[in-house]
Amino acid sequence: MQELLMIPGPVTVSSDVLAACSKPMRNHRGPFAAGVYARLAERLKDVFQTSETVLTLGSSGTGAMEASIVNLFSPGDRLLALPMGAFGDRHIAIARAYGAQVEVIDTEWGDKPDPQRLRDRLARDRAGEIKGVIVTHNETSTGVQADLAALARARADHPALLIVDAVSSLGATDVRMDEWGLDAVIGASQKALGGVPGVAMIALSRRAWDAAERAQMPRFYLDLRKAKTAFGKGQTPWTPPFGVLLALEQATDNYSKEGRHSAFARHARFAEAIRAGCAALGLRIFARQGAYSNTVTAVCAPGDIDHKALQQLLRERYGVVVGGGQMKLEGTILRLGNMGAIGRKDIVTALAALELALRDSGIEVPSGAGTAAANAVFARAEAAKPRVAVG
Ligand SMILES: *Cc1c(COP(=O)(O)O)cnc(C)c1O
């Protein structure tokens, strides 16, 4: 049975992206590769909405999270973090591993950080001791999206660098690096851009590049100064995962053909359809209203149902692969991703399978309710589409 992959990364990729990774190997320091790096970097500038260089690293997204710490700070530096789930906690763990002193403004999982608390805390830091603020734009473990523009405004003119994990939002929702004054933006190939796993991306602001010259944390493989120097010569400092880069080049090509605003609308519509479908099946949406993610939906089934068993049933009996809960949410939620090369038909299929799996687990669910609710969202979106004038 061919599986329908609906986890929040790695995502289902289109056949042209898949074909791109199986092209013949090339000299990674030759002219062909230099062309790939240059074209890809140009496309990524558009995705990050920045005029700064977007660097690619041969790592998963976590490598760029680590790069955002080791390149900008020194051991003992005070950082302020606003985690709201497992990925926010991971960023803190990395900073602490390298000797940063991280102060945490906690947000209950399922909710998004309150920008006012950030504003107040920074206002009290008159001496400017806080060197960096770490935020997760879209928390993949809880299906919550933060209000990044509001958080950026709350940082105001405090000198702390604003570090943004945008791994599961870039490409799916607005990330205006330059306009919002973001100092480090982090992405990965296997999420909303629809590439295959293996490449992380990071862009730094001018201020962040200045900090990179002063930073004292140890770094070698992830030294962004090395990556930038190599990029200037049409190279990468080390052998890159070349097939993954070719796939990402194709994926970003597809993305730019679709257009940023269509891609944002697609992700919003798909996530809304999944929420509507799940709610109609009697599942609770884990995220608070107003904190919904455009790329991943975490849901809880009623009663004391074993979510791991439900996830297994979905996969084994119906071929639909969804995510489970991470860290303290293990066994308590399912996570449905809507990034990558999936369509309306796949979402409807996943909801139909979910209905069957719930019924198999002994839960009464109204027949066809999930697919009907999702289809209603699609129909509304279709009706709201501006008509192209003819003639
Ligand atoms: C996927 C993801 C990452 C990176 O995870 P990797 O497995 O290292 O690619 C980081 N942050 C968020 C929010 C993510 O969704």
Q: Is the CB of 188 under 6 A from ligand 1?
A: yes
**If you average pLDDT over residues 75-86, what whole number do you get?**
98
Per-residue pLDDT at 390 exceeds 70: no
Q: What is the pLDDT of residue 385?
A: 82
Cis peptide bond upstream of 386, omega within 30: no
The H or E element containing residue 306 is none
The H or E element containing residue 298 is strand 296-300
Domain annotation for the chain: domains and CATH numbers: 16-257 (3.40.640.10), 258-384 (3.90.1150.10)
Reference 14, options 271, 194, 200, 190; nearest CA is 194
Counting beta carbons within 10 angstroms of the beta carbon of residue 265, is it exposed (0 to 12), middle (13 to 18) or buried (19 or more)?
middle
Reference 303, options 316, 287, 284, 320; nearest CA is 284
Per-residue pLDDT at 391 exceeds 60: no
Q: Please, what is the angle between helix 369-384 and helix 260-280, to 10°?
A: 150
Neighbour tally for 343: CB within 10 Å: 11
Q: Is the CB of 145 under 6 A from ligand 1?
A: no
> pLDDT for 139-175, tens place per residue?
999 999 999 999 999 999 999 999 999 999 999 999 9
> pLDDT for 47-58, tens place per residue?
999 999 999 999
Q: Is the CB of 60 under 6 A from ligand 1?
A: yes
> pLDDT for 258-294, tens place per residue?
999 999 999 999 999 999 999 999 999 999 999 999 9
3-class secondary structure for 102-113? EEECCCCECECC
Nearest-angstrom CA–CA distance, 372 and 375:
5
Among protein residues, the one with the nearest Cα to ligand 1's atom 9 is 61
Counting beta carbons within 10 angstroms of the beta carbon of residue 256, is it exposed (0 to 12), middle (13 to 18) or buried (19 or more)?
middle
Residue 330 neighbours by CB under 8 Å, 6+ apart: 324
% of the chain with per-residue pLDDT over 70: 99
> pLDDT for 180-237, tens place per residue?
999 999 999 999 999 999 999 999 999 999 999 999 999 999 999 999 999 999 999 9
What's the pTM?
Answer: 0.97
- Ligand 1 centroid to Cα of residue 170, in Å, is 12
Share the mean pLDDT of the chain: 97
Q: Is the CB of 71 under 6 A from ligand 1?
A: no
Q: What is the pLDDT of residue 303?
A: 85
